[in-house]
Structure 1
Amino acid sequence: MDRLHVGRGTTRGALSVFPIWGEYDRPKAYTLCADTVMLSELTDGPRVERLMALNGGERPVLFLEGQLLEGGWQNRMLCRSVLVPARTRLPLEVACVEAHRWNGTDRHQLSGRRASMRVRNTSGSTPASQTQHEVWQRISEYDAQFGVNETSSLTEHTVRATKAVDELVDRIEPLPGQTGVLIGISGQPVMLEAFDSPTTLRHQFRSIVRAAGLDALDQRPEPTPARRAFRFVDRATLVSAAPTAPAGAGTTVHGRSQYAVVTGLAWRRHLVHLSVINPRHTLNAARIA
């Protein structure tokens, strides 16, 4: 992380978006295309906190923490990043983002959306089953903005907010060589997300920024100063992260300080995905205390 570089930010209302550049020197040996992966409920019966991924392809497939999976018996979000190996069946740790539905088909699919920071479980150490009630509680905070929906679905709230979010993030695009993005809301950094490849960042950029935009809609319109973005990254570099659990072909690494919660997916001796959360921001404090 000491090789991350922060660029000039763009501010719209409460939302500030800073480009991040990192050093990379290897071709991407995984894919984000999930066409070879079948996502389904467990064969011995649906469980709220688990889905099954079957990768029938020849390359590992990267699934990212916060991605929304729609369908099945209820919509879910991924709780941590994982590389599903080629020709492998692997259970995924998920949380429910649709509290009042428990029926449907067995199959899920990636929606192309990310869960907002209000509801994402990014502590990297707490099982989804221990945070499920809080996830539902955070989703209900959108009721006042977008109205109550029949199944308390985060996806439905996201759909209803589409026009407002589109206007907020219009023309915010990744820059050449950019490998990450730092998000500030109402004057303070909220999170940083970075990858080992500009290609991966481009693939995920829109969903990351749109999820942040959803959080920013009801927040105080204040720009996040560059000095705070720089300080957040500097403090994050001081956090020592250690392996905590297997993540398919990769390994979850995790570390924290009073200023930064760091979670990553390591594979072949380098970080594929890095997430840094500001635990002092009001959008994060209660969730990862």
Structure 2
Amino acid sequence: MSQTAELQPLRQLALQLMTLKLGAAKRFEDFVMVPLCRAKPTQTDYRLLSEAIAQGTSSVTEVSDIGVVHEATLTNNSDQPILLLDGEELVGAKQNRITNFTTLAPPRTTMRVSVSCIEQGRWRWASPSLITSGAMLYPSARVSNMRYVQTHNGVLQSDPISQLEIWDSIESKSRQLGLTTPVRSLEDLYRPFDCKLKRLEQAMTASTLQVGAAFFRRRRLIGLELLRSPMTFEKQLPRLVRSYSMEILDDRRSTADVGYRPSLFPTFKDHNDNSDTGFYLDAVTRLFSSLVKSSSKKSSSRGMGYHLQSKTNNGFVTALFLDDSLIHLSALSLPMH
């Protein structure tokens, strides 16, 4: 790939980020969200997988009666593309899964999608198909997939190493949360904290024309999510809040921030003044600058568009573009070991 071809996706990303406005930070205890908003409304011509399944125009099934752990078959019978987000949980069939990539499935198409197992111990039919549970994998587990993909040339094969990392992450998270029962779905992780998570969701409502958010644990950046349209983001915000909030629930015995490196990408030092808003806006601005300066790889998608993947000192970034439009971007920090 030529240097010009490599730079083009970064230019597109820079243009997308330049159009965003940063909103005032919203806080609930240690959890902070900085809204990312567009200046003008943006329409979408695709639907979310959960909507398509509910309307009966899409289905996700095993690839065969035997099944394959790392793949599922998506059938889109509608005239619109369908968006699957990285980390979405699919439950049922022979085993509960999570999606490995953000994928935009073309209209009137049957295709295989890359998934990983979220449920140990079951390989038998629970239902004819997989449906979305409404849950999303928490960031420290999602970043394991990002790391594996980017160290294997952008391709996630049926490799037990990547699968074991996910299982290990879930087991570790269960211990951190003090759970003693086996975890067979993300809901098993989230359910014990349901009351607090609902209060968090109520506090983190979408702002006008919000299309993304940077999430912090106090002044430590956990990650950033960015979608194309305000409508899509508003629908996804509750599950994003639930998944990111799992990173502030562990090890509550300590007042120190744990589980993440001191910062994602650049180093953000505490300001001497008391302006939290100024700190968060500065942190996100520096993150934007870091994103467009990082080295990146462009790779094809199983669906529509292409993936842009990059790595910095302390984190991983993955994005899906369709032509010149950014469909979804995730920037996640590396967990500490």
Same fold, TM-score > 0.5, yes or no: yes
Change (3 A) 1:138 1:272: same
What's the secondary structure of 2:301's corresponding residue?
strand
Counterpart position of 2:171: 140
* Compared CA separation, residues 23 and 133, structure 1 to 2 (3 A): farther
Q: What is the CA–CA distance in structure 2 between the aligned matches of 1:109 and 1:234, rounded to whole Å?
A: 38
Distance 1:263 1:47 in 2: 25
Q: TM-score, normalised by structure 1?
A: 0.88
1:228-249 CA deviation, whole Å, 9 max, x = no partner? 3332232223225442122302
Contact 1:10 1:17 in 2 (8 A): yes
Is the alpha carbon distance of 1:60 and 1:171 closer, same or farther for their aligned partners in structure 2, counting shifts above 3 Å? Answer: same
* CA distance in structure 2 between the partners assigned to 1:167 and 1:156 by the alignment: 18
* Structure 1 residue corresponding to 2:193, chosen from 137, 143, 161: 161
Aligned pairs for 1:20-35 (under 5 A) are 20-22=36-38, 27-32=43-48, 33-35=51-53
Structure 2 equivalent of residue 111 of structure 1:
133
1:49 is matched with 70
Q: Residues 46 and 148 (structure 1 numbering): CA distance in 2 closer, same or farther, change over 3 Å? A: farther
Change (3 A) 1:48 1:149: farther
- Residue in 1 that maps onto 2:243: 211
In structure 2, the CA distance between the partners of 1:228 and 1:25, relative to structure 1 (3 Å rule), is closer
The yes-or-no answer on 1:9 pairing with 2:40 is no
Q: Is there any run of 5+ residues in structure 2 with no aligned partner, and where? A: 1-13, 258-275
Contact map agreement 1:34 1:61 (CA 8 A) in 2: yes
Matched residue SS, 1:119: helix
How big is the shift at 1:166?
Answer: 1.8
Cα shift at 1:182: 0.7
* Alpha-carbon distance, 1:53 to partner: 0.4
In the TM superposition, what is the alpha-carbon distance from 1:44 to its structure 2 partner? 5.2
C-alpha RMSD of the superposition: 2.4
Matched, 1:122 2:146: yes
Measured at CA, do residues 22 and 261 of structure 1 come closer, stay the same or move farther in structure 2, by a change above 3 Å?
Answer: farther
Match of 2:326 among 249, 271, 282: 271
Secondary structure, counterpart of 1:176 in structure 2: coil
Deviation of the 1:79 alpha carbon: 0.8
TM-aligned CA deviation for residue 118 of structure 1: 2.4
Higher mean C-alpha displacement, 261-270 vs 227-236? 227-236
Deviations 1:154-208 (A, max 9, x none): 3311223212322334321010011101111242111111111111111111110
d(CA) in 2 for partners of 1:23, 1:48: 43
Partner of 1:232: 287
Normalised to the residue count of structure 2, the TM-score between the two structures is 0.76
Indicate which of 54, 69, 74 corresponds to 2:95: 74
Deviation at 1:103, TM superposition (A): 1.3
Match of 1:262, SS?
A: strand
- Aligned counterparts of 1:210 and 1:41: Cα–Cα separation in 2: 28
Quick check: which one's helix share is greater? 2
The whole-number CA distance in structure 2 between the counterparts of 1:131 and 1:187 is 31
Identity rate of aligned residues, in percent?
A: 23
Gaps of 5+ in 1: none
Distance change >3 Å, CA 22–CA 259, structure 1 → 2: farther
Report the alpha carbon displacement of residue 51 of structure 1 after superposing the two structures with TM.
0.9
Rate the CA distance shift 1:199–1:82 in 2: closer, same or farther, 3 A: same
Alpha-carbon distance change, 196 to 168 in structure 1, aligned in 2, over 3 angstroms: closer
Q: Is residue 194 of structure 1 aligned with residue 226 of structure 2?
A: yes
With over 3 angstroms needed to count, the CA separation of the structure-2 counterparts of 1:259 and 1:233, relative to structure 1, is farther
Q: Which has the larger radius of gyration?
A: 2
Q: How many correspondences in the alignment? A: 282
